[in-house]
Amino acid sequence: MIKEHFKSGYVGIIGLPNTGKSTLLNRIVGRKIAIVTPKPQTTRNKIAGIHTTDECQMVFVDTPGIQHRKGLIYKIMADIVEKVMADVDVILHLIDATKEPSLTDEDVARRICSLKRSAVLALNKIDTLKKSKVLPLIDHFSRFGAYQHYVPISALTGENVDRLLDVLREMLPEGPPFYPPEDASDITERFVAAEIIREKIINNTGEEIPYSTAVTIEEFRESDNKIYIRAEIHVEKSSQKGIIIGRDGSMIKRIGTLAREDLEANFGRKVYLDLWVKVTKNWTRSEHFLRQLGLR
């Protein structure tokens, strides 16, 4: 039964690459729904994580990291961020508190002002930061008049995340929940599978590969207590295909083993993973292919 004065709404998590957006989303939801890597531009799609209590339901929307790069895929990702900022009830701007304020983060603050949206600035990674550094950062960003609250947190350790959730709950409008209370996300198992495979590729290959790699799930079949997944790893060049396959198939075997272990932990069932590597030339510039990936 929904309590009186129940609150519900959408919170958009925005920020530069590698600020910890996906780590924060996974911690709030309590399970892995967004992949995490040390390399920028890991998140491509908007991913919704659902946090439900007796008092509220918050739907967090993780977004691609904000950066200025040329190309169709980067334009689409920038459009995703812009649309999320315009549509959500509250903007959660996450910054890396261990770094000096960037011009891009300042631009985000100005954009929030122009949109006249409710917003919170979360200063992440305080577990590796001297507390004396926090107040000057808050003072710097307060000059833009964009934020109603400033909350120092550590997405990695969970420090002060409960405080952040309390602040966000108070900012949401009253209303019924959008999803059943047991739901943790609106993404499909096929999407999770593709993202976990992509995570293992990113974490086990060099700098060039992550940006030129996409994963599509060609078959996802469940039987008894097993799941069969056939996935295609798309690259743009034959040389990249060779890197992913590795000498005598060593790299593709490693990627498959790590992905399968993660998928079994996620789905709670045995997984048979069948990986194929395919050269799909110029896929990052193909609007049709990007739509297939859910980027639009």
**Look-up: residue for tokens 């293992």?**
200
Token pair of 263 as six digits: 């998928």
Mapped onto helix, strand or coil, the DSSP state of residue 38 is coil
Please list, in sequence order, all residues whose beta carbon lies within 8 angstroms of the beta carbon of residue 168, skipping any fewer than 6 positions away. Answer: 11, 58, 90, 92, 120
The beta strands (E) that lie in 117-213 are given as 118-124, 149-152
Distance CA 209, CA 241 (A): 9
CA atoms within 13 A on the CB side of 216: 16
From 199, 202, 201, 153, select the one nearest 28 (Cα to Cα).
153
Q: Which domains can be identified in the chain, with CATH numbers? A: 7-171 (3.40.50.300), 189-292 (3.30.300.20)
Average pLDDT, the chain: 87
- Over residues 204-236, the pLDDT tens digits come to 887 666 567 889 999 999 988 899 999 999 998
Residue 2's pLDDT is what? 63
- Over residues 160-208, the pLDDT tens digits come to 999 999 999 999 999 999 998 888 888 888 888 998 998 899 888 876 6
